[in-house]
């Protein structure tokens, strides 16, 4: 039977706009502009010969026709997704593509992957380090989602460092991490030993500028204020655009760096870094796991998600025991 259906993109735009009652939020979810959403809705209305939304000055409401149409459109899109999922399930398992901040991947995730492969030796994991996963994780995850071939069963995920507001994704909060001062154990001794916060005046301050959003990265000025340290130039010292480089410089004895407590934990446990003070700066961002809703139920995605959350819980238990 032949069907005269409107374009699928127009139906997706309608469903998202109806769910959010906002062209702007629908555009954000679908990674297009609000103007594109407006054009898709107008195209759909012209195709149907009816109005689907009341466009008010500061709000958007569904018309009676839009209200009646929405449940069936939602059901139809779910059927499309189920059909694609069924087709993928019949194929050989594809890649699990995980986009993550480089520092998180290198210092937290990679050292734990042996345990993942002990559980799932056949998993085809492709780990991609990307700085975009720090401040623009939603767009990064969407880009990964759109760049893979779902027919081959590829499953793109993102681990991001951000606010947690990611419409269109299944989101799991992993952990936040206080920022602490770290240095080579050699700096705890010597001519100017690091024993009290004010001792930083005699040492080089290392700056990590990986994250350009100042809300997400505490500064030495903020640390000094919290530690009640004055008369110190908190902007002096070398600046690095990668947290791995900043930590490498600290390990080498160049000076003191501010680092995420959880990401520096392995180096501290190995004795390559020391924590000279108990001053810890809190920040509002956290690490999150993002899975596009259309693939969040896939076996490979669920396996990785359960393993990752289990690793986070174990880390938290160890931190509580050590406190």
pLDDT mean values, one per 10 residues, the chain (323 residues): 73 91 90 90 91 89 92 86 62 76 91 93 88 58 48 78 83 92 94 93 92 70 94 93 90 95 91 94 88 86 94 88 68
Q: Name residues whose C-beta falls within 8 Å of residue 4's C-beta, 6 or more positions apart in sequence.
A: none
CB 281 within 8 A of CB 178: yes
| 161/153 Cα distance (integer angstroms) | 26
State in Å, rounded, how far the first CA of the chain is from the last one. Answer: 68
Residues 214 and 160: their CA atoms lie apart, in Å, by 16
Report the distance separating Cα 222 and Cα 150, nearest Å. Answer: 46
Ranges in the chain annotated CATH 1.10.10.10? 8-89
pLDDT of res. 147: 47
Instruction: Round to whole Å and give the CA distance between 109 and 99.
Output: 11
> For the chain, where do the domains classified as CATH 3.40.190.10 start and end?
96-175+285-322, 179-281
Phi, psi torsion values for 68, nearest 5 degrees: -70, -30
Question: Quick one: fold of 179-281?
Answer: D-Maltodextrin-Binding Protein; domain 2 (3.40.190)
Distance CA(4)–CA(309), nearest Å, equals 46
Compute the distance between CA of residue 308 and CA of residue 312 in angstroms, rounded to an integer: 6
For residues 79 and 73, give the distance between their C-alpha atoms in angstroms, rounded to a whole number: 10
CA–CA separation, 297 vs 89, rounded Å? 12
Give the CA-trace dihedral at 230, 233, 239, 241, to 10 degrees: 50
For the whole prediction, is pTM greater than 0.75?
Answer: no
Q: H/E/C letters for each residue in the chain?
A: CCCCCCCHHHHHHHHHHHHHCCHHHHHHHHCCCHHHHHHHHHHHHHHHCCCCEEECCCCEEECHHHHHHHHHHHHHHHHHHHHHHHHHHCCCCCCEEEEECHHHHHHHHHHHHHHHHHHCCCCCEEEEECCHHHHCHHHHHHHHHHHCCHHHCCEEEEEEEECCCCCCEEEEEEECCCEEEEECHHHHCCCCCCCCHHHHHHCCEEEECCCCCCCCCCCHHHHHHHCCCCCCCCCCCCEECCHHHHHHHHHCCCCEEEEEHHHHHHHHHCCCCECCCCCEECCCCEEEEEEEHHHCCCHHHHHHHHHHHHHHHHHHHHHHHHC
Domain spanning 96-175+285-322 has what CATH number?
3.40.190.10
pLDDT of residue 168: 79
Q: Which CATH number fits domain 8-89: 1.10.10.10, 3.40.50.1100, 3.40.250.10, 3.20.20.70?
A: 1.10.10.10
Q: Calculate the CA 315 to chain-centre distance.
A: 19
């Amino acid at each position: 039977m032949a069907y005269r259906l409107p374009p699928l993109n127009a139906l997706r735009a309608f469903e998202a706009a109806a769910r959010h009652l906002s062209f702007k939020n629908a555009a954000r979810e679908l990674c297009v502009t609000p103007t594109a959403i407006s054009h898709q809705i107008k195209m759909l209305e012209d195709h149907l010969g009816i109005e689907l939304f009341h466009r008010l000055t500061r709000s958007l409401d569904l018309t009676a026709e839009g209200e009646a149409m929405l449940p069936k459109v939602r059901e139809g899109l779910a059927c499309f997704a189920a059909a694609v999922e069924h087709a993928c399930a019949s194929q050989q398992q594809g890649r699990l593509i995980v986009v993550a901040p480089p520092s998180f991947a290198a210092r937290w995730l990679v050292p734990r992957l042996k345990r993942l492969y002990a559980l799932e030796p056949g998993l085809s994991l492709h780990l991609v380090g990307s700085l975009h996963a720090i401040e623009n994780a939603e767009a990064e995850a969407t880009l990964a989602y759109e760049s893979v071939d779902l027919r081959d069963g590829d499953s793109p995920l993102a681990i991001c460092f951000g606010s947690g507001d990611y419409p269109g994704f299944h989101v799991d909060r992993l952990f936040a991490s206080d920022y602490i001062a770290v240095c080579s154990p050699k700096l705890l001794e010597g001519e100017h030993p690091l024993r009290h916060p004010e001792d930083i005046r005699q040492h080089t301050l290392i700056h990590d500028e990986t994250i350009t959003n100042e809300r997400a990265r505490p500064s030495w000025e903020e640390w000094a204020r919290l530690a009640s340290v004055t008369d110190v130039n908190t902007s002096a010292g070398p600046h690095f655009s990668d947290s791995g480089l900043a930590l490498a410089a600290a390990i080498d004895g160049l000076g003191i760096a501010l680092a995420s407590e959880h990401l520096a934990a392995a180096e501290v446990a190995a004795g390559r870094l020391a924590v000279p003070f108990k001053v810890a700066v809190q920040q509002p961002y956290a690490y999150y796991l993002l899975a596009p809703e259309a693939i969040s139920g896939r076996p490979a995605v669920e396996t990785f998600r359960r393993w990752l959350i289990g690793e986070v819980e174990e880390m938290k238990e160890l931190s509580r025991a050590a406190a």
